[in-house]
A and B are shown apart, each in its own frame.
Chain A
Amino acid sequence: MRPLLGDFLATASGHIGAATGDLRVGADAAPSVVRELARLTAVMVRCADAFVQDDRGDSRHLLDAQELAVLDARSALRHAHACMRAAWGALGDGDDEAQHAAAACLSAAADDLAAGHDLLQTHFATDQFGWRHATSPWAPAIASPQVGAALITEVGGYAGRLAPWALQLAAAVPDRRLPPRARAAIGSSCRWLWVAEAAARVVRHGPGAVAGQALLPSIPVNLPPLRCSPRGGEPVPRLCAGTAITAERLGHLAYLTATRGYPPRATLATGWQRTAQAAAITGHCSELILRQLTEPAARLSRSAAADTAINLAAQATGGSWQAWRAVARQWDIFTTSPGTIFTPVAAEIGDLTLWIGRLAHTDPAWAPARNHSSPLRPGAAFADSGTTISAVVIALHHAGDALTRIAAHDREGVRSAAATEDLHVPTRLLPADTDVPYRYVPAPSAMIDELLATYDAAAEAGMRAATTLDRLVLTLNSQPTALITLRAVAPLNTPCLPPIPAARAAPPAQQPRPGQVAQALRNQGINEPALLARAAELDDKTRALISTITSISQRRAEASVAAKHAPEGQHPARLAARDSSPATGAATSLPRLVPIGHQIRHSTPTRRRPNCQ
């Protein structure tokens, strides 16, 4: 089992509940509690700020109520943390190292919340300039406004529970243990925590917030599920579970391959054809299952709307597998360099075919071979097998979603191979009167265009099928599944996030040093917590700005050096284009695959089409 964000959030919430449930915290516990509160609020700020794509705090555009509430909540959390940090600073050097029960609970809550934050960060990789690039199919969802709002809501809820307790604590501790300055800072911090909670309540009721809240606990650590191959004889519930797990794994592997590039010495053309034919067979079996579900015996206690939705899904799935078959047929005539290994998706997509094929057929060892052809599983058998029709449809939904993602990623891989002239056609397939003394010729551009158009059609048909399955699942279930929510909030893109705001992220292992603005206030004898908090914020922003400017300068300098040393013919604009887009970078990092021992003629002798179906 992969750890989920929900596991950490639940534990953090439990620890906060344990801490705030204790209203008899002794006076001697105050320093350690304040220290842990400062640390916990730091982590809360980190969570609230971590996945903001565009900080529109000083935007000139009008923001809606939801956006304003998000900004207010984040700002209030920062103030709350700055005040709590100031309170801890005001306690002086006599740190209490003793770990009191409430402090231990707060510490554990901070640890869990930090672990949850780190779990989310595993879905991004940081480049040399601090920018974070998506590395998993979950990343677009994590960077979405809906999940951001859900995270603010969660953290705002913690703030609302901490505020009254901390205030009560500050009031109960005698002056000798809690100096007035610290007491005032705690009071300010609590007020800001209340502001954060109030803003989070507005966020919670905003549009799309429910989807984000449903998705938040389901976000896993960035690891594909373990490979799960069928062994034969699995019951229907296990076949459904295996289908869903394998589909998620394949979607993950496709994403990784697309972002990291294909392995060197991969047999690309064979892999792409195998993927397409496995997708076609998987879709074919999915359609057969959906058609079986419309049998009269399987229709008991189902609404007419569900029947209509099943029929529409079957029709769309039929269109999807036929589009995939067209892709498989296109690959009959193309080839790339010979290799020794398959791409991860091509190596494992057969598992998905077996899972769905065994769900569709009665042979427990079904395989795409003639001696395993068997009657279809009757629709009523799904309901009789201890599972629900809904579980079967959800499994097909997972498969359909994975195939849609694979179509989009493979299409980009093929486009890259075509751009680097890695697609060839065996000369023997050309018409007999073609006089070419080579075994291969580069694939003519008209044929490549046709191949890419076929992939586009497969991606579009897959999208249509997945959308009809979305509707079917929603018809059969009152609550949307995590996959439906994920598909709704996360388009198929790769977000790129700015660097994590520095300075605030580090827990206060030692008393914080004031920045220039904060120091200037102190020099003037100003100790008002709200002003100090504002000064600390200005210092943080200044540091972030300087860091960004430094990054840009370094980047420009490196680009300039690279342009100077670029070999002849490598235009600087090309370098810049490669540098600016992660997708382009991944594409250009593909190894140039030249067939070993192949004689390739680099001018196209004929545009006539070879003999293919």
Chain B
Amino acid sequence: MNELDACTARVRSSATLAELLEAGFDAFEVIRLVARTCEDRAPDLFAAFLTAAGTAVEGRNALNDAPSLPPARAGPPPAPRASAGASADRIADELAALAALLAQRLAEARAQAILAGDRSACQHATRTAAGIHRLLARDTDETAAR
């Protein structure tokens, strides 16, 4: 899952609010696309992946309303594909980790944001990222992704 690694690296290394918002938007989109691909891989994870994809849409749309999000995207929209060989469990682990990182970075950004619109968008997106982590983590530590 190179796309997931790249996405994780972008979220981690974003230096400014605008960069983080853009990376966050793409990260939610990656989570949505990968989760959609994995819905049918394991029947016992169907509900978790389906709900995670919908929650990622909420987070992505929340960040789209942030005033500091650059109006035009720098590159092409993400188009990740979950590799055929990867197990649903492993993909869920990776998505949960990305969601936890996203929740942590967005919570930090919210604390430093100046504009009310940015704070509100980050708060909503933090909540949804934490929700995705809760949905996909193997054993959820309720305090880990707040």
Point out the residues of chain A lying under 8 angstroms from B51, CB to CB: 277, 281, 368-369
Residue of A nearest to B58 (CB): A270
Point out the residues of chain A lying under 8 angstroms from B135, CB to CB: 368-370
Proximity string of chain B (49-78) to chain A, C-beta cutoff 8 Å, 1 when within and 0 when not? 011011001101100110100011101111
Proximity string of chain A (476-502) to chain B, C-beta cutoff 8 Å, 1 when within and 0 when not? 000000000000000000000000000
A358 to chain B, nearest CB (A): 12
B28 to chain A, nearest CB (A): 11
Which residues 555-613 of A sit at the B interface, judged by CB distance below 8 A? 595, 597-598, 610-611, 613
B93 to chain A, nearest CB (A): 9
Point out the residues of chain B lying under 8 angstroms from A332, CB to CB: 32, 36, 53, 57
When chains A and B are docked, how far (Å) is the Cα of A369 from the Cα of B32?
A: 16
Residue of B nearest to A440 (CB): B64
Please determine whether B75 and A432 come into contact, CB atoms closer than 8 angstroms: yes
Q: Is A177 an interface residue (CB 8 A)?
A: no
Point out the residues of chain B lying under 8 angstroms from A429, CB to CB: 29, 77
Q: Is B137 an interface residue (CB 8 A)?
A: yes
Which residues 23-39 of B sit at the A interface, judged by CB distance below 8 A? 25, 29, 32-33, 36-37, 39
Q: Give the number of residues in B that approach A within 8 Å (Cβ atoms).
A: 42
Q: Is B48 an interface residue (CB 8 A)?
A: yes
Point out the residues of chain A lying under 8 angstroms from B44, CB to CB: 373-374
Please determine whether B45 and A370 come into contact, CB atoms closer than 8 angstroms: yes
Point out the residues of chain B lying under 8 angstroms from A370, CB to CB: 45, 48, 92, 96, 135-138
Q: Give the number of residues in A that approach B within 8 Å (Cβ atoms).
A: 39
B49 to chain A, nearest CB (A): 9
B55 to chain A, nearest CB (A): 9
Residue of B nearest to A281 (CB): B47
Point out the residues of chain B lying under 8 angstroms from A440, CB to CB: 64
Q: Is B134 an interface residue (CB 8 A)?
A: yes
Which residues 422-440 of A sit at the B interface, judged by CB distance below 8 A? 426, 428-429, 431-432, 437-440
Taking a contact as CB atoms closer than 8 A, the residue among A274, A285, A598 that contacts B54 in the complex is A274
Q: Is A208 an interface residue (CB 8 A)?
A: no
Point out the residues of chain A lying under 8 angstroms from B54, CB to CB: 273-274, 277, 328, 331
Residue of A nearest to B96 (CB): A370
Please determine whether A439 and B39 come into contact, CB atoms closer than 8 angstroms: no
Q: Is A85 an interface residue (CB 8 A)?
A: no
Which residues 330-359 of A sit at the B interface, judged by CB distance below 8 A? 331-332, 335, 338, 353, 357
When chains A and B are docked, how far (Å) is the Cα of A335 from the Cα of B58?
A: 9
Point out the residues of chain B lying under 8 angstroms from A353, CB to CB: 47
On whether A613 and B33 interact (CB within 8 A), knowing A368-B50, A368-B135, A429-B77, the answer reads yes
Please determine whether B39 and A432 come into contact, CB atoms closer than 8 angstroms: no
On whether A328 and B64 interact (CB within 8 A), knowing A370-B45, A432-B77, the answer reads no
Please determine whether B47 and A426 come into contact, CB atoms closer than 8 angstroms: no
When chains A and B are docked, how far (Å) is the Cα of A428 from the Cα of B66?
A: 13
Residue of A nearest to B43 (CB): A288
Point out the residues of chain A lying under 8 angstroms from B43, CB to CB: 288
Point out the residues of chain A lying under 8 angstroms from B75, CB to CB: 432
Please determine whether B50 and A369 come into contact, CB atoms closer than 8 angstroms: no
Please determine whether A426 and B50 come into contact, CB atoms closer than 8 angstroms: no
Point out the residues of chain A lying under 8 angstroms from B136, CB to CB: 369-370
A347 to chain B, nearest CB (A): 15
Please determine whether A368 and B47 come into contact, CB atoms closer than 8 angstroms: yes
Q: Is B140 an interface residue (CB 8 A)?
A: yes
Q: Is A325 an interface residue (CB 8 A)?
A: yes
Please determine whether A437 and B47 come into contact, CB atoms closer than 8 angstroms: no
A304 to chain B, nearest CB (A): 27
Point out the residues of chain A lying under 8 angstroms from B140, CB to CB: 369, 371
Q: Is A150 an interface residue (CB 8 A)?
A: no
Point out the residues of chain B lying under 8 angstroms from A280, CB to CB: 50
Point out the residues of chain A lying under 8 angstroms from B53, CB to CB: 277, 328-329, 332
B45 to chain A, nearest CB (A): 6
Residue of B nearest to A432 (CB): B76
Please determine whether A426 and B64 come into contact, CB atoms closer than 8 angstroms: yes
When chains A and B are docked, how far (Å) is the Cα of A371 from the Cα of B135?
A: 8
Please determine whether B47 and A371 come into contact, CB atoms closer than 8 angstroms: no
Q: Is B79 an interface residue (CB 8 A)?
A: yes
Please determine whether B37 and A613 come into contact, CB atoms closer than 8 angstroms: yes
On whether A426 and B77 interact (CB within 8 A), knowing A280-B50, A370-B92, the answer reads no
Proximity string of chain B (6-17) to chain A, C-beta cutoff 8 Å, 1 when within and 0 when not? 000000000000
Residue of B nearest to A595 (CB): B65
Which residues 256-307 of A sit at the B interface, judged by CB distance below 8 A? 270, 273-274, 277, 280-281, 284-285, 288
A255 to chain B, nearest CB (A): 25
Taking a contact as CB atoms closer than 8 A, the residue among B39, B77, B134, B137 that contacts A325 in the complex is B39
Proximity string of chain A (129-156) to chain B, C-beta cutoff 8 Å, 1 when within and 0 when not? 0000000000000000000000000000
Residue of B nearest to A361 (CB): B44
A250 to chain B, nearest CB (A): 18
Point out the residues of chain B lying under 8 angstroms from A431, CB to CB: 76-77
When chains A and B are docked, how far (Å) is the Cα of A273 from the Cα of B54?
A: 7
Point out the residues of chain B lying under 8 angstroms from A277, CB to CB: 50-51, 53-54
When chains A and B are docked, how far (Å) is the Cα of A473 from the Cα of B72?
A: 56
B65 to chain A, nearest CB (A): 6
Point out the residues of chain B lying under 8 angstroms from A595, CB to CB: 65
When chains A and B are docked, how far (Å) is the Cα of A437 from the Cα of B71?
A: 7
B43 to chain A, nearest CB (A): 7
When chains A and B are docked, how far (Å) is the Cα of A285 from the Cα of B25?
A: 32
Please determine whether B33 and A428 come into contact, CB atoms closer than 8 angstroms: no
Can you show 25 pairs from A to B with CB atoms below 8 A apart? Answer: A270-B58, A277-B54, A281-B46, A281-B47, A284-B46, A328-B50, A328-B53, A329-B53, A332-B32, A332-B53, A353-B47, A357-B47, A368-B47, A368-B135, A369-B140, A370-B136, A371-B138, A429-B29, A431-B76, A432-B76, A437-B72, A597-B65, A610-B77, A611-B33, A611-B78
Q: Which residues of A contact B (CB under 8 A)?
A: 270, 273-274, 277, 280-281, 284-285, 288, 325, 328-329, 331-332, 335, 338, 353, 357, 368-371, 373-374, 426, 428-429, 431-432, 437-440, 595, 597-598, 610-611, 613
Which 8 residue pairs spanning A and B have beta carbons closest together? A368-B47, A373-B44, A432-B76, A613-B36, A370-B48, A281-B47, A611-B77, A277-B54
Q: A332-B36, A428-B73 are in contact. List 18 more A-B contacts (CB 8 A).
A: A270-B58, A270-B61, A284-B46, A325-B39, A325-B50, A328-B50, A329-B36, A332-B53, A369-B51, A369-B134, A369-B136, A371-B138, A426-B61, A432-B76, A597-B65, A597-B67, A611-B33, A613-B37
Q: Which residues of B contact A (CB under 8 A)?
A: 25, 29, 32-33, 36-37, 39, 43-48, 50-51, 53-54, 57-58, 60-61, 64-65, 67, 71-73, 75-79, 92, 96, 117, 134-140
